[in-house]
Amino acid sequence: MSQSCLDCPQRPDRVFCDLAPDALQEFDGIKSLHVHPRGTILFREGQPARGVFLLCEGRVRLTVCSESGRRMTLRVASAGEVLGLSATLAGGCYEVTAEVLEPLQAAEVRRRDLLSFLREHGETCMHVVHLLSEDLHMAYDRVRTVGLVRTRHSHPHGPVLTH
């Protein structure tokens, strides 16, 4: 694994990696690289967000817990994705649990360092806004899909739509 984002061959395809050279060099200085074995929990649902994880190599299962205590897999995140972004920016708690599925290499950025970096780099801040917007639209699509499937199954004459 490259210790520097500046030397990473995956850079053009990755979030936070395709920055202007000066911003990338500053980002390189605020991140710390870690290797996590399979089964490691990066963070737990409900835990205060301490920072973001940029996945360099490997995959992570994202799960939520139901009221009855059952775990449900939302999706599997892979290299190039950023985890914990909305919770970290909001200063809240992580919304999901992130469990490493295979050996993982990840760059971690602490909340205060990320906020300072975004204040200094407006173009990156706008990129983060775009990422959060994409996440929101994916969530809307999932809710629509789940809601419409359940509605079709519970009503013999098809979905009942109300305004």
Per-residue model confidence as pLDDT tens digits over 108-147 = 999 999 999 999 988 787 777 777 778 777 777 777 777 6
Question: How many angstroms separate the CA atoms of 99 and 63, rounded?
Answer: 8
**Where is 136: in which H helix or E strand?**
helix 122-154
On the 0-12 / 13-18 / 19+ scale of CB atoms within 10 A, 62 is buried
- Coil vs helix vs strand at 9: coil
- Topology adopted by domain 5-152: Jelly Rolls (2.60.120)
The pLDDT mean for the chain works out to 83
pLDDT tens, position by position, 17-57: 667 778 888 888 999 999 999 999 999 999 999 999 999 89
The stretch 93-120 carries a mean pLDDT of 95
pLDDT given at position 131: 79
On the 0-12 / 13-18 / 19+ scale of CB atoms within 10 A, 22 is exposed
Q: Which of 54, 64, 55, 60 is nearest to 40 (CA)?
A: 60
Question: How many angstroms separate the CA atoms of 1 and 103, rounded?
Answer: 12
Residue ranges per structural domain of the chain: 5-152
Question: DSSP letters along 22-64, please?
Answer: HHHHHHHHHEEEEEE-TT-EEE-TTSBP-EEEEEEESEEEEEE
Give Cβ neighbours of residue 136 (< 8 Å, ≥ 6 apart). Answer: none
pLDDT given at position 122: 80
pLDDT given at position 40: 97
